[in-house]
Amino acid sequence: MSVVKSGIVSGYDTRRRRVLVVEDDAEVRLFIQTVLSRAGIDVVVACNGMEALDIPDPAGLDAILLDLSMPEMDGFTFLAMRRGDLKEVPTIVLTARHESKDVRRAVELGAKDYLAKPFDNLVLLKRLARSMKPLDRMPKSSAVSW
């Protein structure tokens, strides 16, 4: 019998990836959510940076997909204001803003990657996979005994 405790079954990490999507456009947000869900990723959504700062359990996030141009709090301000566990989460900026000064500013504020809209779904998933820390899929002891 396997015991499940905090996503661990017999030494294996069984939890699904969890990504926060911060996007003000409802259609784009739903599209990204669909792409990620079909890839087996749990999605948390926020309509702007202010909502994103208030999400529960930021330590459980594997990545953040962040738009830059949003009402109430834009992506730059979110990057500058995030603290604690939220600051440690790898962030990929998804935006229609293509200017090098925007890319540079986002990276200076802590973004790990930058993807221009419109984007290819597979490119998005590959960039996400590259930015996230690998899950511990192997048991702590890999020794085999007979």
Residue 117 belongs to domain with CATH number: 3.40.50.2300
Alpha-carbon distance of 145 to 136, in angstroms, equals: 21
Q: Which domain holds residue 113?
A: 16-128
Residue positions counted in the chain: 146
Which residue carries 């999605």 as its tokens?
Answer: 43
Which residue carries 């030494």 as its tokens?
Answer: 11
pLDDT for the residue numbered 48? 95
5 domain residue, yes or no: no
Split into its structural domains, the chain has a count of: 1
For residue 45, pLDDT over 70 is answered with yes
pLDDT for the residue numbered 126? 95
pLDDT for the residue numbered 135? 63
98 domain residue, yes or no: yes
Tell which wins on pLDDT, 79 or 142: 79
Q: Which residues contact 81 (CB under 8 A, 6 or more apart)?
A: 49, 53, 73
Q: What residue type is assigned to position 16 of the chain? A: R
Q: Which of these ranges, 14-18, 103-107, 121-125, has the smallest mean pLDDT?
A: 14-18
Q: How confident is the model at residue 139 (pLDDT cuts 50, 70, 90)?
A: very low
For residue 8, pLDDT over 50 is answered with no
Closest CA to 81 of 54, 100, 43: 54
Q: Compute the CA torsion angle 69, 74, 76, 78 (nearest 10 deg).
A: -140
pLDDT for the residue numbered 15? 67
Q: Which two tokens stand for residue 140?
A: 């702590």
List the beta bridge partners of residue 93.
66, 114
pLDDT for the residue numbered 136? 57
Which residue carries 């330590």 as its tokens?
Answer: 59
42 domain residue, yes or no: yes
